[in-house]
Chain A
Amino acid sequence: MSAILILLVIGILITLIMQSMPSIKSLGIGFLWGKIWDPVSNIYGAYPFLIGTLLTSFTALLISVPFSYAISIYLGEYNPKGWLSNLLKNSIELIAAVPSIIYGFWGIFVLVPVIRSFETKIHVAPYGVGIFTSSLVLAVMIIPYAASLGITLIRMVPSPLKEGAYALGATRFEVIRSVIMPYTRSGLFAGVLLSLGRALGETMAVTMLIGNTSTIANSFKEIFFGPGNTMASVIANEFTEADHTVYLSALIELGLVLFFVTVVINLIGKRIITKFTNH
């Protein structure tokens, strides 16, 4: 049975590589930084989607990290037991349990109008949908992955270490800053990596909120607040419409890139965690 699993993963890899062969052959490596994606005139460049994916994921990560660290510290150190801590822990897990399609649906009807009026205020084109909106929703969605790991890790800090610091007269903040944080740094970083892996591959919520434009604007402000596309969302939108081989295979090549990136990030994260917990 375990052998089936290995075959499954190898099969996934082979299928992706085989099916993206036509596009690898005809487009070459330049595909990755080609700036124009225009299936009608047979021009394929992945640059807009790479930018879209990286921008949404890292913005989401940036927003989510303070929150996931705060939850880890609060539930790991300040308040590890009791009903309030249980309640908070369960609600964090619920955030991960809500299907992404529901975040997307909610986003379209509640968040988009809010963002639109915000964009009017700061004088950018009020699309409402776009990279910024997707990042906000993504940020909420990926918090649980880093947080639940962080809680476990912070609880694993040996108490003699903390007690030693307290005995030297350290305040709680100082204990957290100079004992707990250094001790758990690599583990917390692994949690952030897992969150990033999630964010890169997230499809539905982003597809519904990003606006789905494959052209890329000139200034950063326009890109950031304007509509865009990520690798996952362009696959979701165009896969069933792709009507010739190279088009389809270019989309699959995007999937292949996505596969590699998320798998590598996840494996690095897992490795760090195993190292940490075996110590």
Chain B
Amino acid sequence: MDARIGIRNTKSLLFKGLIVFLAFVITLPLIVVLLYIIKQGVFQVNWHFLTHVPAPVGETGGGISNALVGSLIVVFMSSIVAIPIGILTGVYLSENPHTKLSYYAGLCVDILQGVPSIVVGIVVYFWIVKPLGTFSAISGSIALAIMMLPIVIRSTEQTLRLLPPSLKEAALSLGVPYHRVILKVIVPCGFAGILSGIMLSIARIVGETAPLLFTAFGNPYLSTAITKPMETLPHLIYTYATSPYDDWHNLAWGASFILLMFVLILNIFTKLITRKWNIQL
């Protein structure tokens, strides 16, 4: 009898050991990737690197200013498109959870979340690039905005659902019109949650490459024209990483480092906000 219990206890311990081992071993690849990118990238970054365009093949030096500016512009434009639509839809979904429209809209959010990013690229190519006849920054922004939407919508909806209904009822009983209740009470109360959703979605799209291949395309020169092709950080990393030149690889390492840091900082900020305001996302 005792021996039987002993076996069972040992089995339990062994299982725990296995689980702990597997759970922690998976942080290993993450640590290896992060350290390697930092090691390769951190020495590339300096003032010259941030303010110059890439050097042609055969010349050392050069920087990634075109991609930095491009990424900023593209992400900014997609935020302008996606954030208002996302927040409004999120408010609608949380205020009217049981209408037919919100059922289908919710379904569409789920669908959008599952669409592979490359497919978004194809579609935007036919919507914007083909009619305009040229790759353009604006088309890249639209593609990224489509990727951003579901994240913003879901986080807005979920934050607002958690607000106590008494808040809204109190405002309504004071005679405040419905649209002002939404604008002045509901949205400000859920502001932190909405903000963290927005930051999370920006962190997600800033590293997206696949939809940009057929839309913003890339450009070796500094450009701010939104109807012309524009370089972005992930696209620069892709083209230079797959090139055979060491100088270009170095540029790509530096760009990866900057991209990684940006994404990490955004994620940490989101974490801090959600912890401070005690939000569940």
Chain B min CB distance to A22 (Å) = 13
Residue of A67, A252, A267 near B111 (CB, 8 A) is: A267
Residues in A with CB closer than 8 Å to B113 are: 266
Residues in B with CB closer than 8 Å to A36 are: none
Task: Evaluate contact between A2 and B101: CB separation under 8 angstroms.
Answer: yes
Task: Evaluate contact between A15 and B127: CB separation under 8 angstroms.
Answer: yes
Residues in B with CB closer than 8 Å to A66 are: 22
Asked whether B279 is an interface residue with its Cβ less than 8 Å from the other chain, the reply is no
Task: Evaluate contact between B207 and A99: CB separation under 8 angstroms.
Answer: yes
Residue of A12, A15, A98, A173 near B33 (CB, 8 A) is: A98
A236 to B8, CA, bound (A): 53
Chain B min CB distance to A140 (Å) = 5
Residue of A15, A94, A176 near B264 (CB, 8 A) is: A94
Q: Interface stretch among B51-59, B184-192, B237-245?
A: B237-245
**Interface of A (DSSP majority class):** helix
Asked whether B169 is an interface residue with its Cβ less than 8 Å from the other chain, the reply is no
Asked whether B176 is an interface residue with its Cβ less than 8 Å from the other chain, the reply is no
Task: Evaluate contact between A97 and B263: CB separation under 8 angstroms.
Answer: yes
Task: Evaluate contact between B267 and A263: CB separation under 8 angstroms.
Answer: no
Asked whether A103 is an interface residue with its Cβ less than 8 Å from the other chain, the reply is yes
Residue of A6, A99, A200, A251 near B105 (CB, 8 A) is: A6
Chain B min CB distance to A207 (Å) = 8
Asked whether A135 is an interface residue with its Cβ less than 8 Å from the other chain, the reply is no
Residue of A6, A11, A109, A235 near B104 (CB, 8 A) is: A6
Given contacts A98-B30, A201-B116, contact A239 B213 (CB under 8 A): yes
Interface centre among A5, A94, A100 (most CB of B within 10 A): A5
Q: Interface stretch among A37-45, A84-92, A215-223?
A: A84-92
Residue of A6, A12, A73, A172 near B115 (CB, 8 A) is: A12
Given contacts A100-B209, A105-B252, A262-B115, contact A208 B238 (CB under 8 A): yes
A91 to B268, CA, bound (A): 11
Asked whether B12 is an interface residue with its Cβ less than 8 Å from the other chain, the reply is yes
Task: Evaluate contact between B118 and A201: CB separation under 8 angstroms.
Answer: yes
Chain B min CB distance to A181 (Å) = 12
A174 to B15, CA, bound (A): 10
What string of 1s and 0s marks CB contacts (under 8 Å) between A212-240 and chain B?
A: 00000000000000000000100110011
Residue of B27, B119, B209, B252 near A91 (CB, 8 A) is: B27
Residue of A102, A204, A270 near B260 (CB, 8 A) is: A102
Task: Evaluate contact between A173 and B241: CB separation under 8 angstroms.
Answer: no
Residues in B with CB closer than 8 Å to A167 are: none
Task: Evaluate contact between B37 and A239: CB separation under 8 angstroms.
Answer: no
**Interface of B (DSSP majority class):** helix
Asked whether A70 is an interface residue with its Cβ less than 8 Å from the other chain, the reply is yes
A140 to B267, CA, bound (A): 19
What string of 1s and 0s marks CB contacts (under 8 Å) between A242-279 and chain B?
A: 00000000011001001100110111001000000000
Chain B min CB distance to A260 (Å) = 10
Chain B min CB distance to A20 (Å) = 10
Number of interface residues of A (CB under 8 A): 71
Task: Evaluate contact between A100 and B110: CB separation under 8 angstroms.
Answer: no
Q: Interface stretch among B42-50, B72-80, B86-94, B219-227?
A: B86-94
Task: Evaluate contact between B256 and A203: CB separation under 8 angstroms.
Answer: no
Chain B min CB distance to A112 (Å) = 12
Asked whether B183 is an interface residue with its Cβ less than 8 Å from the other chain, the reply is no
Closest B residue to A68 by CB, please name it: B26
Residues in B with CB closer than 8 Å to A259 are: 115-116, 119
Task: Evaluate contact between A67 and B126: CB separation under 8 angstroms.
Answer: no
Asked whether A9 is an interface residue with its Cβ less than 8 Å from the other chain, the reply is yes
Closest B residue to A95 by CB, please name it: B30
Given contacts A4-B85, A94-B264, A99-B259, contact A67 B25 (CB under 8 A): yes
Q: List 21 A-B contacts (CB under 8 A).
A: A2-B101, A6-B104, A6-B108, A11-B123, A70-B22, A102-B259, A105-B37, A106-B37, A108-B241, A140-B30, A171-B11, A174-B8, A202-B116, A203-B116, A204-B209, A239-B213, A259-B115, A263-B114, A265-B114, A267-B114, A270-B110
Chain B residues engaging chain A, CB cutoff 8 angstroms: 8-9, 11-12, 15-16, 18-27, 29-30, 32-34, 36-37, 85, 88-89, 92-93, 101-102, 104-105, 107-123, 125-127, 146, 149, 153, 203-204, 206-210, 213-214, 234, 237-238, 241-242, 249, 252-253, 256, 259-260, 263-264, 267, 271
Chain A residues engaging chain B, CB cutoff 8 angstroms: 1-6, 8-9, 11-12, 15-16, 19, 66-67, 70-71, 73-75, 78, 88, 90-95, 97-106, 108-110, 140, 143, 171-174, 176, 197, 200-204, 208, 232, 235-236, 239-240, 251-252, 255, 258-259, 262-263, 265-267, 270
Q: Which 10 A-B pairs have the closest CB atoms?
A: A99-B207, A201-B116, A266-B114, A70-B22, A2-B105, A173-B12, A171-B12, A74-B23, A203-B210, A1-B88
